[in-house]
Amino acid sequence: MDLSFFVVQLLSGLTMATFLFLIASGLTLIFGVGKVFNFAHGSFFMLGAYAGYQLSSVWGQSFWLSLVAGGIFAGVLGMLAEFLFLRRIYGRADEGGFQILLTYSFILIIDDLVKLVWGTEYKSLAKPAVLQGAFSFSGIVIPRYNVAVILIGLAVVVAAWWFLNRTRAGRIARASALDREMLAVLGVNVPMTMTLVFGIATALAGMTGVLAAPLRSVTPGAGIEVIIDSLIVVVLGGLGNFWGAWLAALLLGEVNSFAVVFVPKWATLFSYLVMALTLLFKPEGLFAPRKVRRV
């Protein structure tokens, strides 16, 4: 295995890991703040991809405008879904079961609406002109777009850390994950906080859909594909653990990237194998914080 091959596979794994993290971070944020299991999170990824396709490939707008608009489109729809439907089941004794059924129904509805509006044919989205082509160093060819995706992922990590730790809104979001009742007593509008968190998370999924579209086709059912891998990332990192999701995405992305080369017939099984072993030996997640034992 020469250096060129290793670098290419490493970059491919990092690109995959970035997409997984951007989707899983929104899923983790929703669960960490509101304890909501949004099974339809991948559908908002798909909606963002289709919005980007419509703006860029059909209406001829710039890729960057499509990226922002795709995120806004998915975020607004996510806020409406939380406000109109999910908010009605908060606090029920069987809330978890209702969340799964309700969000799964979102998947079916959104998939059918996408087929009605855009059809069932595969769509494509071109890379922005400035990111076409590749860098070349000592015979190693590195696609510009992949590098841009990885840098965007790193920027999101830094921005998320700053938001959660350095802003009042971030501290409120973290506090709502611990005690929503006490936060409400202190005068914070907890329902609005939940809606905004849901909107931010789904907007992030929508932007990721636009980012991923030039490297993969835009098609109905894409939400199911990405939500499975994203759920594996969330399980590996520990439910609600933002930094765990980041590390788990890196692990899963690199495992899949090298597995495709060395054991292509079994590559699709590695994600499930890693998750199964994690659930067997550390069900709380590989990167979940240790519980303090009280004496």
Measured between alpha carbons, how far apart are the two ends of the chain, in Å? Answer: 53
Kindly report, residue by residue over 220-267, the tens digit of the pLDDT. Answer: 888 888 888 888 898 888 877 777 888 889 989 998 888 888 888 787
Whole-number Å distance between alpha carbons of 164 and 180: 17
What's the pTM value of the predicted model, to 2 decimals?
Answer: 0.90
> Residue 293 pLDDT > 50, yes or no?
no
Q: Look at residue 26 and give its three-state secondary structure.
A: helix
**Cβ within 8 Å of residue 65, ≥6 positions away:** 55, 56
Kindly report, residue by residue over 114-158, the tens digit of the pLDDT. Answer: 999 999 999 989 999 899 988 887 778 888 999 999 998 888 878
- Banded model confidence at residue 199, pLDDT cuts 50, 70, 90: very high
